[in-house]
Structure 1
């Protein structure tokens, strides 16, 4: 079964990224959630059904189901994480989107130059606005803070944070310190640059990690949401699950 650029082997309980060659043996929660989503592909599956008990395992908690979905999306990558759709108040749905459909759409679109122009025009305008905002006058946006780390293996790592709003600088700086402590637990890591930002409302923490694995450049995007008043994006449990270290 192909999911984006990944291949799912149900018998081996494995997801393999066909682009990078990375393989992931799915834990019980991730395996159960993915199997049930595949079995009902295109339809909404309620959260309690995704976490239902079976003959060998107890039921999963709602938080375990949520975490399993997060980990599956992380492995699928930013380009394909949308395949697992959140249906608010109901559950999750695995989209029926396939590469063939996208290729067919591209073929039809590129056969009509006027349609291509209509589609690309908003992106051209947004790109021009972005260039004007970031490069005109004052030059590119400077990082809020850059932290250089040296791990016991001798590897160098940079944490680079950006902020467009002064209202969340204090919260972002605290998150940088927490993530810095997480990386300091590593002897080595695949990541070399980590880019951080916090949304204006302080409810979404964005992390982009760039590095090298087996001689290939890799990128991992994480988006953490916390709508509580007292927010806790980073915890030791989260650090263990995300596996920052090699």
Structure 2
């Protein structure tokens, strides 16, 4: 089943981006949502119909939002959220922008949407300026990570005030989890640790045909031994596909 530039492989439960030659192995919840939208293509599928007993509305909307991101700008309008009704998967891309105005709590007003877009643009400018500055500084740790799909991602770590052997132990732990990803869409991931090691920032970037795509994540911990890294967390912050 063709969806924009993607192919929905029902047998293997995958969504395949043919233009980028990457695939997204769907879990049971993701497969259920996409299957219902495909079966009722061109029709509004109610929120109630899309929800499973183990899936709430917020999770369902996050799944739909992930589909929109995977489809890319050119085909994102194939999916639209109809307030108080449900989700529709069009047969052809439309010019309606309402699908970009979804939030986990419901539809977003146009004024709020503009504010969010301005914040996103400001964040991208900040990330770009930060990357431009650090590009002249040698990273404390650098490694090429090969995903299961065969893609290469450059990991750069900045933590100059940490002892090298301690840093290596921490990074090896992080690299081990990232390598378990089925697919990583990012060309580079930059990790900056705070001086007290209780928080860190991640800046991910990927070059597309038209421009650069950025994604920022910041994590704060209450104490050093607090566990935070897991396969679920890597997917939640969009490091893993």
TM-score by length of 1: 0.48
